[in-house]
Amino acid sequence: MQLDSLLLQQTSLSGSSQSPRSPSTQPFLSVSVTDPAKLGNGVQSYISYRVITRTNLPEYQGPEKIVIRRYSDFIWLHDRLFEKYKGIFIPPLPEKNAVEKFRFSAEFIEMRRQALDIFVNRIALHPQLQQSEDLKTFLQVDEETMERARSQETGIFKKKPADFMQIFKDVQSKVSDAVLGKEKPVEESNPEYEKLKNYIFELEEDLAEAQKHAFRLVKRHKELGQSLSDFGKAIKLLGACEGNSLGKAFSELGSKSEMLSIKLQKEAHNLLMKFAEPLKDYVRAVQSIKATMAERATAFKHQYELAETIKLKEINLDKLMLIRSDKVGEAEIEYRELKVEGEEATKKYEMIVQLMNEEIVRFQEQKTWDVGVAFHELAKGQAQLANEIADAWRSLLPKLEACSSAQT
Amino acid sequence: MATITTQRSLSGSSQSPRSPSAQPFLGITVTDPVKLGNGVQAYISYRVITKTNFPEYQGPEKIVIRRYSDFVWLRDRLFEKYKGIFIPPLPEKSAVEKFRFSSEFIEMRRQALDIFLNRIASHPELRQSEDLRTFLQVDEETMERARSQETGIFKKKPADLMQIFKDVQSKVSDVVLGKEKPLEESSPEYEKLKHYTFELEDHLAEAQKHAFRLVKRHRELGQSLADFGKAIKLLGACEGNSLGKAFSELGSKSETLSIKLQKEAHHLLMKFEEPLKDYVRAVQSIKATMAERANAFKHQCELAETIKLKEINLDKLMLTRSDKVGEAEIEYRELKAEGEEATRRFETIVRLMSEEIVRFQEQKTLDIGIAFHELAKGQAQMANEIADAWRSLIPKLEACSART
C-alpha cells in the first residue's frame, strides 16, 4: 500500500498531475510547479511560478488550487520545515545564486523549475512533512499573505542551515580543539553512527566529483555538436565551388554533419536534465543529511550539558540541605525546572535519533532508485545517440564509395 | 599502370612490381624517424629507401639518411627547373617548439614526406630529374654540400614568387596609385581557373581548420569520459550491493569508451584532417606555379615591347645610314632570340599547366573521396562500438532500478 502510493505519487515527480485510482477514497496530494514567467525589471526582475495543488485532503481547499510563488517563498518553506522537523531530512532546494547572465537562460529556468517541482512533491510524499501547516500555507494563501509571512520570519528563524553547518564543524573539530587546549568537545560515541557519518562525508565528496564530471560531459557534447555544425557548413561551402559528383558528396557530408550536430545538442540537453541534474540533486540531498546531523549534534550537546548542569545543581542542593540554608527552596525549584528541561532536551534528542533512523532507510531506498533511473537514462540516451550517428554515417558510405572509385 | 603501382606506395609501404624486370618502377619509402643532435640543434633524420629498376639508379635498393632541409632543397630545385608543373607540396616548416618532437607530429611529417617523394616518383617528368637522383642516392656529406651550395643561386623561394604574383594581381591598387596597368593574360578560361583556385584555397583552409577542431573535440570528450569513469568508480567503491556494482560497470565502460574516442581522434587526424591539409598545400603549390606563369608572361611581354622599340630604332638608324647600324642589328637579333626563348618558355608553362590541371583534378577527386570515405567509416564504426557498449549496460541498470 505504502509502496503503491509512493510509486503513484512519484510519477508526478515529472511535473504532470496524476488522477488517483479511486478518486474520493485514496488520499492524495500532488503538486505541479509550472509556467515560469519573468516579472519585474532590471536587477529586481525575478521568475514566478504557478504552483498547482490537486488534492482530496479535507484540510485543503480542493480539489484544485493555483497560487503564484517565487524562489524565496520556497526557501521560506524549506527553512520553516528545517526548524520544525528536526531529525527529518528536509528535501533540498536548488542553489540560490547563479552567474548573472545565466540567471534567465531557458535552460537554467527549466532546471530550476524541475528541481522546485521535485522539492514540493517530496514534501507532499513525506508521511510527516505532508502534514505541515507551513506546507498548507505555502500551497494555498494568496501572494500578499505569502509575502507578509516571508518578511515576518527574518527575526525568529534567522539561523540558516549554513549556521548549523558551522556548529557541526565546531563539534567535529576534535583535533584542533585538543591542539588549542580547549576541553574535549561533547559528542556521541556510537560506532554505528560514526560509520554513517563517515559514509555521508565520503559520499558527498565522491558525488561532488562525479557530478562535476557529469556536467563537463554535457559541455563536451555541446562543443562537439558545435564543431560538427561549423564543419558541416565549411564542407558545404567547399562543395558549392566543386562541380560533379565530388561537389555532391561534399554537400551530403556537410548536411549530415549539421544534422548530427543537432542530435548532439539534443543529447547534451537530455544528459543535463536526466543525468547531471539528478546527480546534483543527490549531492544536495546528502548535504541536507549533513545539516540534520548537525542538528542532532546540537541536540546531543544541549542534552548532555543540561545533564552535567543538573548533576552540579543536585550536589549543590544536597549541600544546601545539609547546612539547612534558607536558599534550599529556591534551589529546589531551580533544580526541578532544570530536570524538566533536561527531560525535554533528552526527549528532543531521542526523537531526532528515532526519526533519523527511519529517514536513513527511506533515503537509501529512494536514492538507489533515483540513481538507477539516472544511470538507465544515461545509457539509453547515449546508446540511442550513437546508433543514430552510426546510421547517418553509414548512409553516406555507398555514395562516397561511388565517388572514390568513379575516377580511377 | 606504373602510376597505379607507385601510387599504392603512397601509403609508405614498398611494393614489388608485377613483372620484376620488365615494368619500370620507382618506389620510395620514408621511415624510421630518429632524433639526432642536442638541444636547439636537435633534428629528426629519416631513412629513405629506394627500390627501383631504373638503369640510371644504383638499384635494386638504396638506403640514405635525409633530414627535412634536404627535402626542402629538392622541392626548391624542382620548382626552379620545372616551371609549369605543380610541384608536390611539403609539410610545413615550423612547428610550435614543444610540439616539434611529439610522436604524433613526427608521424604526420613522416607520412607527408613519404607522399611527397612518391608523387615526384610517379610524375612522368619530375621522376626523370637529376636532383631527384641526387637526393635518393648520394651520401649525407655530399647531400649537405649540395644543400649549402644552393643558397646563392636559388635564393628565390616560392614565398617570394607569391609576392610577385600578388603584385601582378593587385590591379585595383595599381590603378589607384596611378601606376601603369600591369601586364596580365586576358584568357577568360585562365581567369576562371585563377578564381576557382583562390576560392578553393579559402574554403579548404576553413574546412581543414574545422576538421582539426573536430579532432580536438573528440580528444576532449574522450578525456572527460575517462575522468567521469574514474569518479563513478570511486563512487561505486563507497556504495555496496547492486548499486555499487552498477557504478563500477558504468565507470569501466566509460573508460573503455574514452580509449575508443582517442583512437578515433587519431584516425580522424591521420586519415582525414591531414589529407585535407595536404589538399590545401597542393592548391598553394598551384598558386606558386600561377605566379611563375605570370612572371613568364610579363617577361615575354616586356621583351616583345623592347623588341618593337629596337626595331623602330633600327629602321631609323638604317634610314640615316648611321655607323651604329651593325651594332644595333646584332643587339636586335639577340633580343629577338631572347624573345623567342621567353615566348617558348611561357608557352611550355601554359601547355604543362593544362596537363597538370587535369592530373590534379583526377588525383584530388580520388584523394578526397578516400578521405571522406575514411571519415564516414571511422565515425560509423566508433559510433557502433559506443552504442554496443552502452546497450550492454542497460539490462544490468534496469535490474537495478526495478528492484524497489
Summary mean pLDDT of chain A: 85
Q: Where does the pLDDT of residue B308 fall: very low under 50, low under 70, confident under 90, or very high at 90 and above? A: very high
Given pLDDT bands bounded at 50, 70 and 90, which one contains residue A327? confident
Q: Give the type of residue at A209.
A: E
- Cβ of B231 within 8 Å of Cβ of A249? The answer is no
A127: preceding bond cis by omega (within 30 degrees): no
In this complex, do A231 and B375 lie within 8 Å of one another by their Cβ atoms?
Answer: no
pLDDT over 50 at A277, yes or no: yes
Lowest average pLDDT, out of A95-104, B17-26, B51-60, B240-249, goes to B17-26
Q: Which CATH superfamily is domain B5-167 in?
A: Phox-like domain (3.30.1520.10)
Q: Is the pLDDT of residue A157 over 70?
A: no
Q: Which chain A residues contact residue B404 at CB under 8 A?
A: 3, 365, 368-369
Helix (H) or strand (E) holding A244: helix A244-271
The C-alpha atoms of residue B294 and residue B304 are separated, in whole angstroms, by 15
Of B258 and B398, the structure prediction assigns the larger pLDDT to B258
Residues 6+ apart with CB under 8 A from A404: B366, B369, B370, B372, B373
Distance CA B224, CA B236 (A): 18
- Which residues in chain A have their CB less than 8 angstroms from residue B401's CB? 369, 372-373, 375-376
| CB spacing of A397 vs B380 below 8 angstroms | yes
Chain A nearest CA to B32, separation (Å): 31
> Could you tell me the pLDDT band of residue A368, with boundaries at 50, 70 and 90?
confident
Q: Smallest CA–CA separation between B353 and chain A, in Å?
A: 19
Which grid coordinates belong to B161?
614568387
Superfamily classification of domain A29-151: Phox-like domain (3.30.1520.10)
The CA-atom distances, in angstroms, between B156 and each of B53, B162, B286, B292 are 35, 10, 17, 11
Q: What is the mean pLDDT of residues A75-104?
A: 87
Instruction: Give the range among A166-180, A197-211, B112-126, B271-285 with minimum mean pLDDT.
Output: A166-180
How far is the CA of B315 from the CAs of B322, B325, B334, in angstroms?
10, 9, 16
CATH of domain A191-406: 1.20.1270.60
Average pLDDT over residues B151-176: 51
CA nearest to B119, candidates B351, B232, B279: B279
Give the pLDDT confidence score for residue A381 in this predicted structure: 95
Report which of B269, B364, B275, B213 is spatially closest to residue A257, judged by C-alpha positions: B213
Would the pLDDT of A202 be above 70?
A: yes
Q: Which residues pair with B62 in a beta bridge?
A: B50
Whole-angstrom distance, CA of residue B279 vs CA of residue B367: 9
Measure Cα distances from B47 to B17, B100, B140 in Å: 22, 19, 11
pLDDT of residue B157: 54
Is residue A16 within 8 Å of residue A3, measured between CB atoms?
no
Crossing angle for the helix pair B188-238 and A191-241, to the nearest 10 degrees: 170
Is the pLDDT score of B391 beyond 80?
yes
The CB density around residue B246, as the number of other CB atoms within 10 Å, is 25
Q: What integer is the mean pLDDT of A240-263?
A: 88
Give the chain A residue nearest B376 (alpha carbons): A393
Determine, for residues B403 and A212 on separate chains, whether the beta-carbon distance falls below 8 Å.
no
What's the confidence (pLDDT) of residue B160? 55
Q: What would you report as the CA-atom Rg of chain B, rounded to the nearest whole angstrom?
A: 29
Q: Which helix (H) or strand (E) holds B27?
A: strand B26-36
Confidence of residue A13 (pLDDT cuts 50, 70, 90): very low
Does A393 contact B377 at a Cβ distance shorter than 8 Å? yes
What are A31's strand-pairing partners? A53
Find out whether A281 and A303 touch, Cβ atoms under 8 Å.
Answer: no
Identify the band that residue B159 occupies on the pLDDT scale cut at 50, 70 and 90.
Answer: low
The CATH fold assigned to B189-403 is Substrate Binding Domain Of Dnak; Chain:A; Domain 2 (1.20.1270)
CB atoms within 10 A of CB B337: 10
Q: Answer yes or no: are the C-beta atoms of B30 and B48 closer than 8 Å.
A: yes
Structural contact between residues B238 and A203, judged by C-beta atoms closer than 8 angstroms: yes
Provide the percentage of residues in chain B whose pLDDT is more than 90: 63
Burial class (CB in 10 A: 0-12, 13-18, 19+), B307: middle
Judge contact between A129 and A85, C-beta under 8 A. Answer: yes
Q: How many CA atoms lie within 13 A of B85 on its CB side?
A: 18
Q: What letter would DSSP give residue B138?
A: S
Average pLDDT over residues B28-37: 94
Contact at 8 Å (CB) between A119 and A91? yes
- In whole angstroms, give the CA distance from residue B169 to residue B167: 5
Amino acid sitting at position B246: A
At A173 the three-state DSSP class reads coil
**From the CA of B249, how many Å to the nearest CA of chain A?**
11
Q: Per the CB < 8 Å rule, is A376 touching B390?
A: no
Percent of chain B residues past pLDDT 70, beyond the cut: 83
> What angle in degrees, to the nearest 10, is found between the helix axes of A143-152 and A133-140?
140
- pLDDT score at B242: 76
CB contact under 8 A, A220 and B220: yes
> What residues in A contact B214, CB-CB < 8 Å?
224, 227-228, 231
What are the domain boundaries of chain A?
29-151, 191-406
Determine the pLDDT at residue A187. Answer: 79
Q: How confident is residue B181, by pLDDT bands cut at 50, 70 and 90?
A: low
- Judged by DSSP in three states, A104 sits in coil
User: A90 falls in which pLDDT band (50, 70, 90)?
Assistant: very high
Range with the poorest average pLDDT among A76-80, A96-100, A146-150: A96-100
